[in-house]
């Protein structure tokens, strides 16, 4: 007898422990009550899905309601998250069913025009029209090599170590001031700030709790904050500690340099690292030795245009653009076809057209270039984008670009 297919439905809030238990098993992680309680604070059951096989949850998916900085604008985004399929139910199409239902519901409700996620496996979500839109760098180095260039400005004011409770309001204020300028950053209301700076001991890997240092100007106003932790170690030739930097947020370059100098000059620390650094980090230009910071570029935020017309009209463009795009999109057929995009630095419109296509690409490539990072020219060189002429491609690539590299430091 044929086994009935699992049924998709909304979970109840009370089912979150079972929801989380499945995800912990899928990702091979030991479940901790503290982690489950933290995740429950941001869980949105009304935007989540479970696949039920009888009484058992065998697959999960969720959405977080966030606001994403895109070039020139702030845009509601569906943060796709909590996706997992039980190992007993792999290769049955459950992931595709959940992703398809999410995108269809977003389209039919005219909710967020864009979805975004972090991918546990970078190949999977390209199949569903997501493009790698905001690469990040894993940055590492030796503290002894971090001398700054003589031109680096010096900030007036002072540094103070403060407890988390004193640092958090300043982190929020400075982050909110910086957020509109950099594509890829997410809004951070209190519940998400609590989520980011939660500091359970089992996540520290033997290091200290998060340490906070603030910079105040001559008037006593806090204009910069850094958050980091230190793991002590003794090497064969003396202290061999490691400082791991979570955040360096500053009102200007001089203050940022002062915060980095504090981190690099910590006693008993030989190595430094930052798990997520912007590709255009000013730190690279502060260092006298260009080899003092080694960077490994990896993916972070993946972007998917739910509705091509609404999404392309929502952002700004670096230069004037007037181009006909032909989009292929198997999962969201309402996006497939030709779209005329016209606009520039002050706004844009996008509408269906029967005019001849000038650039052809899939929803995956469109997601990749949406935040102004990867370029149409680069994707075309790899055969992923086709254009009627090099001139058309170049003009569109410049318009889609942005002066600030996209960056998303927080996993969700």
| Active-site residue list | 125, 412
Give the integer Cα–Cα distance in Å for 326 and 339: 6
Query: What is the DSSP track for 61-128?
Result: EEEEEEEEEETTEEEEEEEEEEEEE-GGGTTSSHHHHHHHHHHHHHHHTT--SEEEEE-SSTTGGGGG
Burial category of 408 from C-beta neighbours within 10 Å (exposed 0-12, middle 13-18, buried 19 and up): buried
Tell me phi and psi for residue 101, to 5 degrees. -65, -40
């Amino acid at each position: 007898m044929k086994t009935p297919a699992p049924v998709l439905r909304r979970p109840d809030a009370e089912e979150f422990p079972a929801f989380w238990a499945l995800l912990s098993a899928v990702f091979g992680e030991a479940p901790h009550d503290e982690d489950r309680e933290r995740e429950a604070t941001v869980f949105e059951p009304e935007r989540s899905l479970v696949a039920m096989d009888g009484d058992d949850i065998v697959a999960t998916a969720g959405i977080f309601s966030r606001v994403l900085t895109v070039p020139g604008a702030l845009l509601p985004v569906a943060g796709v998250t909590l996706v997992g399929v039980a190992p007993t139910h792999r290769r049955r199409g459950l992931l595709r069913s959940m992703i398809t239902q999410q995108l269809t519901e977003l389209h039919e409700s005219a909710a967020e025009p864009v979805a975004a996620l972090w991918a546990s496996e970078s190949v999977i979500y390209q199949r569903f029209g997501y493009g790698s839109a905001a690469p990040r760098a894993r940055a590492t180095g030796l503290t002894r090599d971090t001398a700054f260039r003589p031109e680096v400005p010096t900030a007036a004011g002072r540094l103070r170590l403060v407890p988390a409770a004193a640092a958090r309001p300043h982190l929020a204020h400075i982050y909110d001031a910086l957020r509109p300028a950099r594509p890829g950053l997410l809004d951070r209301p209190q519940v998400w700030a609590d989520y980011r700076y939660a500091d359970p001991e089992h996540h520290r890997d033997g290091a200290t709790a998060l340490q906070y240092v603030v910079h105040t100007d001559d008037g006593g106003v806090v204009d910069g904050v850094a958050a980091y932790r230190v793991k002590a170690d003794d090497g064969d030739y003396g202290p061999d500690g490691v400082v791991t930097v979570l955040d360096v947020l500053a009102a200007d370059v001089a203050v940022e340099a002062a915060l980095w100098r504090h981190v690099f000059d910590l006693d008993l620390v030989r190595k430094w690292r930052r798990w997520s650094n912007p590709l255009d980090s000013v730190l690279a230009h502060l260092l006298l030795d260009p080899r003092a910071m080694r960077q490994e570029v990896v993916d972070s935020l993946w972007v998917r245009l739910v509705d091509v017309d609404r999404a392309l009209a929502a952002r700004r463009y670096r230069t004037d653009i007037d181009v006909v795009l032909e989009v292929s999109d198997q999962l969201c057929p309402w996006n497939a076809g030709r779209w005329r995009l016209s606009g520039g630095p002050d706004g844009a419109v996008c509408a269906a057209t029967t005019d001849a296509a000038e650039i052809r690409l899939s929803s995956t490539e469109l997601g990749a270039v949406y935040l102004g990072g990867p370029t149409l020219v680069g994707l075309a060189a790899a055969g992923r984008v086709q254009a009627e002429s090099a001139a058309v491609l170049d003009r569109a690539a410049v318009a889609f670009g942005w002066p600030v590299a996209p960056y998303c430091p927080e996993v969700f």
